[in-house]
């Protein structure tokens, strides 16, 4: 009897606890919960944030999120507990114009790289056998890697995505197998980064031994994967480009349309699995309309407000079925990062110790996340890597900092076509070899045909990155044309010359301060006249001597600068008659300073000087040319050379629109000699105005100059016309 009573008592307790047990079992059943599926579509994805704002206002929050392409990035941020407005604010910090500009900025280059100017309309990597290779994408993804690494750094401690405020999974495609890859753990930043690799546009993303591209090609609305994640009710935020009436007209539109064809096969099938679809009208909104992000988000918000009754009805139906909406708690911000270990991944040629040294980061130091990102940028500016980005892996008391890198190829081919009023049409090619023959070395081997014909080999061996000596060996063969003018400025002769020689130097660079090089040179040259015809050729002339040059550059850009300074001075002395046909001692110097006066206006002040020193016999006949578009524009190149000159430049530089430059100013020239520095009648004034455009393929410029005596000069150039080897020459 007591046993029966005890049994009944236990049974009553079990019955009382049964509802709780059932609720626990239901809550733990797979596939229970509301899931948001984000679709891909580039900048159109911002419309999804607008719709989320209205869903939040109506108290609807998901248990699971997932997306493809841009939707994966937005979904990843939303899974951290950010509101839609906060996600929008974070995303607009990724400046679109900055993301697509993957060139190192001139002031950020290491000192060894500033010895060569910008060059080449096209650069192609070379295979070990010397075959040109097309890039894996129009963009390497360098800025995207860094931007996403920074955005998702606060989630570094959360390696299991199911334990995020909202359950999340990333979706990519393994490029080699074609299989979909579901990312449920690891680095959240890496999980969503692969989804940003749009084929042919952004290079594939490699990590964990796989090469990833955008999963949206196979599942642009990944509903089946969201169901596998645990959702049994699906709300789709659909912003895909419509296939109707598409008429692609250029390369990008054709490629985008082909990708859309592949995507829509899965989209149409997955729509049937959704319980509610929110799809705003985004006609006229392109995938690349990132500058209009806020306006696109507003389109999505307006659409959701117009359909708020549909949203409310969906909410009420879920509540009736027992769903509970809970606002997720945002993860804590990462105010400081205690770095206990630093390692590298992805490097093959560059030692890990060098990468870590270039970053300037140290173990057992606390850093702000911005400091870590800046350190990665500093490593990237070495020009040794396509991409450099950080990943934090949690340890018991801090983080392991992993610097992921993708090395640049050591061999490149630079192709350049240009036209200028001075040298007409030129075609050039330069092969670049980095660290092939010696560590920390560079060999440039190139030719130019057209306005000048030449072969150049420039080999430099550096003994450090920022404060270090270097060696240079520069042999060359050059055929060029010099023009001769009469006093009226009319061309009277055209002289061709053939010259071969070698320059060897020992230098030292001191980071952003200066580069100093002592050099010796030997050459032989022979000239002959094309106009007038019949003029006999000259005998071979020897030129041998010693020199010293110093260079400083802090310009924001070496083509159309707006700020900074540039100074170059060089002395040459050829004192030995048995080594040189002429005995001379020469000094030339150029200084230009640019200072911002306003956001779009800068002031330029410049001074150029050329003269001789000492009493060597041929100083007076060693004439120096100083005319041309980039020099004293009152004279054409080679017009009125002088044994001594000095001129000043004062101008205003405007940038009314991005990459469009206007400059207007005056120059004053004095060729009366070192004894005359007066500012009176010995000066020749010239006034000029120029227009320039900086394009991805190279600069374009026109310039008009008018001397005070009424003589006008016109200059035109397209492409990179600056001599790549100007610093290396004697």
Contact predicate 44/280, CB 8 Å: no
Higher per-residue pLDDT: 480 or 726: 726
pLDDT digits (tens, 9 = 90+) for 500-531: 999 999 999 998 899 999 999 999 998 876 66
Q: What is the fold of 486-728?
A: Porin (2.40.160)
Contact predicate 596/556, CB 8 Å: no
Higher per-residue pLDDT: 267 or 701: 701
pLDDT digits (tens, 9 = 90+) for 40-53: 888 889 999 999 99
Q: How much is the pLDDT for 497? A: 86
- Among candidates 266, 261, 221, which has minimal Cα distance to 68? 221
34-102+141-321 has which CATH code? 3.40.1090.10
pLDDT digits (tens, 9 = 90+) for 397-421: 999 999 999 999 999 999 999 999 8
Q: Which residues pair with 169 in a beta bridge?
A: 66
Average pLDDT, the chain: 87
- Among candidates 558, 466, 458, which has minimal Cα distance to 508? 466
pLDDT digits (tens, 9 = 90+) for 606-622: 999 999 988 888 888 88
Q: How much is the pLDDT for 13? A: 38
pTM of the model: 0.85
Whole-angstrom CA distances from 418 to 86, 699, 702, 725 are 48, 9, 14, 16
Q: How much is the pLDDT for 191? A: 93
pLDDT digits (tens, 9 = 90+) for 437-467: 898 999 999 999 987 899 999 999 999 889 9
Residue 67 has pLDDT above 80, yes or no: yes
Direct distance between the N- and C-terminal alpha carbons of the chain, in angstroms, rounded to an integer: 115
Q: What percentage of the chain carries pLDDT values higher than 90?
A: 62
In the chain, CATH 3.10.20.310 covers: 337-407
Give, in degrees to the nearest 5, the angle at Cα 528 between 539 and 524: 45
Q: How much is the pLDDT for 22? A: 38
Contact predicate 308/54, CB 8 Å: yes
Residue 16 has pLDDT above 50, yes or no: no
DSSP 8-state code for residue 632:
B
In the chain, CATH 2.40.160.50 covers: 486-728
DSSP string, 545-587: EEEEEEEEE--S-SSS--SEEEEEEEEEEE--TTT-SS-EEEE
CATH superfamily of 337-407: membrane protein fhac (3.10.20.310)
Q: How much is the pLDDT for 262? A: 59
Residue 225 has pLDDT above 60, yes or no: yes
Q: How much is the pLDDT for 385? A: 94
β pairing state of 122-126 and 698-707: unpaired
Distance, in Å, from the CA atom of 690 to the CA atom of 717, rounded to the nearest integer, reads 11
In the chain, CATH 3.40.1090.10 covers: 34-102+141-321
Question: What mean pLDDT is predicted for residues 108-134?
Answer: 89
Distance, in Å, from the CA atom of 550 to the CA atom of 568, rounded to the nearest integer, reads 6
56 phi and psi angles, rounded to 5 deg: -65, -45
- Residues 6+ positions from 198 with CB-CB distance below 8 Å: 69, 137, 213, 214, 259
- Among candidates 419, 370, 407, 412, which has minimal Cα distance to 390? 370
Q: How much is the pLDDT for 544? A: 94
Q: How much is the pLDDT for 316? A: 94
Range name among 40-44, 294-298, 606-610, 715-719 with the lowest pLDDT average:
40-44
Residue 326 has pLDDT above 50, yes or no: yes
Contact predicate 549/589, CB 8 Å: no
As a 3-state breakdown, the chain gives helix, strand, coil percent values, each rounded to 5, of 25, 40, 35
Q: What percentage of the chain carries pLDDT values higher than 70?
A: 90
Contact predicate 580/542, CB 8 Å: yes
Contact predicate 566/553, CB 8 Å: yes
Distance, in Å, from the CA atom of 158 to the CA atom of 331, rounded to the nearest integer, reads 9
pLDDT digits (tens, 9 = 90+) for 530-555: 666 555 666 888 999 999 999 999 99
pLDDT digits (tens, 9 = 90+) for 124-136: 999 888 898 888 8
Q: How much is the pLDDT for 250? A: 63
Question: What mean pLDDT is predicted for residues 151-156?
Answer: 94
Residue 25 has pLDDT above 50, yes or no: no
Residue 5 has pLDDT above 90, yes or no: no
Residue 168 has pLDDT above 50, yes or no: yes
- Among candidates 320, 304, 385, 332, which has minimal Cα distance to 58? 304
Distance, in Å, from the CA atom of 272 to the CA atom of 36, rounded to the nearest integer, reads 15
Distance, in Å, from the CA atom of 264 to the CA atom of 251, rounded to the nearest integer, reads 20
Question: What mean pLDDT is predicted for residues 257-272?
Answer: 69
DSSP 8-state code for residue 319:
H
Higher per-residue pLDDT: 72 or 638: 72
Whole-angstrom CA distances from 293 to 57, 77, 283, 484 are 21, 16, 15, 58
Residue 242 has pLDDT above 70, yes or no: no
pLDDT digits (tens, 9 = 90+) for 628-667: 999 999 998 888 888 899 999 999 999 999 899 999 999 9
């Amino acid at each position: 009897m007591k046993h029966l009573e005890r049994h009944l008592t236990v049974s009553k307790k079990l019955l009382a606890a049964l509802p709780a047990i059932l609720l626990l079992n239901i809550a733990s059943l797979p596939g229970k919960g509301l899931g948001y599926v984000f679709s891909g579509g580039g900048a159109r994805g911002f419309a999804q944030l607008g719709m989320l704002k209205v869903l939040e206002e109506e108290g609807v929050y998901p248990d699971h999120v997932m997306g493809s392409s841009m939707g994966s990035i937005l979904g990843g941020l939303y899974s951290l507990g950010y509101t839609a407005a906060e996600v929008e604010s974070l995303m607009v910090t990724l400046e679109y114009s900055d993301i697509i500009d993957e060139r190192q900025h001139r002031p950020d280059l290491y000192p060894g790289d500033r010895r060569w100017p910008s060059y080449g309309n096209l650069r192609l990597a070379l295979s070990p056998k010397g075959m040109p290779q097309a890039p894996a994408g129009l963009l390497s993804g360098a800025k995207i890697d860094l931007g996403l690494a920074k955005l998702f750094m606060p989630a570094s401690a959360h390696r299991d995505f199911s334990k995020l405020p909202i359950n999340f999974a990333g979706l990519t495609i393994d490029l080699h197998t074609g299989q979909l890859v579901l990312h449920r753990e690891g680095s959240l930043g890496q999980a969503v980064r692969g989804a940003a690799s749009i084929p042919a546009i952004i290079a594939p993303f490699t990590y964990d031994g796989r090469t990833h591209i955008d999963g949206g090609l196979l599942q642009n609305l990944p509903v089946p994967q969201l169901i596998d994640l645990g959702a049994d009710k699906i709300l789709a935020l659909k912003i895909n480009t419509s296939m109707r009436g598409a008429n692609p007209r250029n390369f990008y539109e054709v490629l985008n349309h082909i990708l859309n064809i592949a995507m829509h096969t899965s989209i149409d099938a997955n729509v049937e699995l959704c319980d509610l679809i929110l799809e705003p009208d985004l006609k006229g909104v392109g995938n690349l309309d990132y500058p209009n992000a806020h306006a696109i988000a507003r389109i999505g918000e307006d659409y959701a407000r117009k359909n708020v009754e549909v949203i409310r009805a969906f909410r009420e139906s879920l509540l009736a079925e027992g769903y509970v909406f809970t606002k997720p708690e945002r993860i804590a911000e990462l105010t400081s990062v205690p770095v206990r270990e630093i390692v590298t991944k992805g490097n093959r040629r560059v030692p890990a110790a060098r990468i870590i040294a270039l970053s300037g980061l140290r173990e057992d130091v606390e850093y702000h996340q911005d400091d870590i990102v800046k350190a990665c940028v500093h490593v990237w500016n070495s020009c040794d890597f396509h991409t450099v980005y950080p990943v934090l892996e949690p340890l018991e008391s801090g983080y392991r900092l992993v610097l992921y890198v993708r090395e640049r190829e050591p061999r490149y081919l630079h192709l350049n076509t240009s036209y200028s009023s001075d040298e007409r049409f030129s075609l050039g090619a330069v092969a670049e070899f980095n660290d092939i023959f010696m560590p920390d070395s560079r060999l440039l081997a190139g030719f130019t045909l057209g306005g000048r014909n030449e072969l150049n080999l420039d080999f430099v061996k550096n003994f450090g990155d920022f404060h270090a000596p270097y060696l240079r060996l520069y042999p060359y063969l050059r055929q060029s044309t010099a023009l001769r003018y009469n006093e009226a400025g009319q061309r009277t002769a055209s002289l061709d010359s053939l010259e071969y020689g070698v320059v060897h130097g020992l230098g030292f660079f001191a980071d952003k301060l200066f580069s100093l090089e002592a050099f010796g040179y030997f050459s032989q040259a022979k000239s002959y006249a094309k106009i007038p015809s019949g003029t006999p050729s000259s005998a071979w002339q020897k030129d041998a001597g010693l020199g010293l040059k110093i260079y400083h550059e802090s310009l924001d850009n070496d083509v159309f600068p707006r700020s900074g300074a540039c100074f170059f001075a060089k002395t040459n002395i050829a004192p030995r008659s048995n080594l040189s046909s002429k005995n001379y001692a020469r000094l030339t110097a150029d200084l230009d300073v640019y200072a911002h006066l306003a956001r779009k206006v800068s002031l330029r002040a410049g001074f150029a000087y050329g003269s001789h020193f000492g009493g060597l016999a041929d100083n007076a006949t060693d004439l120096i040319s100083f005319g041309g578009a980039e020099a004293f524009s009152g004279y054409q190149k080679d017009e009125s050379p002088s044994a001594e000159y000095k001129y000043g430049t004062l101008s205003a530089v405007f940038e009314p629109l991005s990459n469009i430059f206007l400059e207007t100013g005056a120059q004053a020239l004095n060729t009366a000699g070192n004894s005359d520095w007066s500012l009176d009648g010995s000066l020749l004034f010239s006034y000029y105005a120029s227009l320039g455009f900086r394009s991805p393929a190279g600069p374009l410029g026109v310039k008009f100059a008018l001397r005070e005596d009424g003589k006008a000069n016109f200059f035109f150039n397209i492409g990179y016309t600056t001599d790549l080897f100007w610093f290396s020459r004697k």
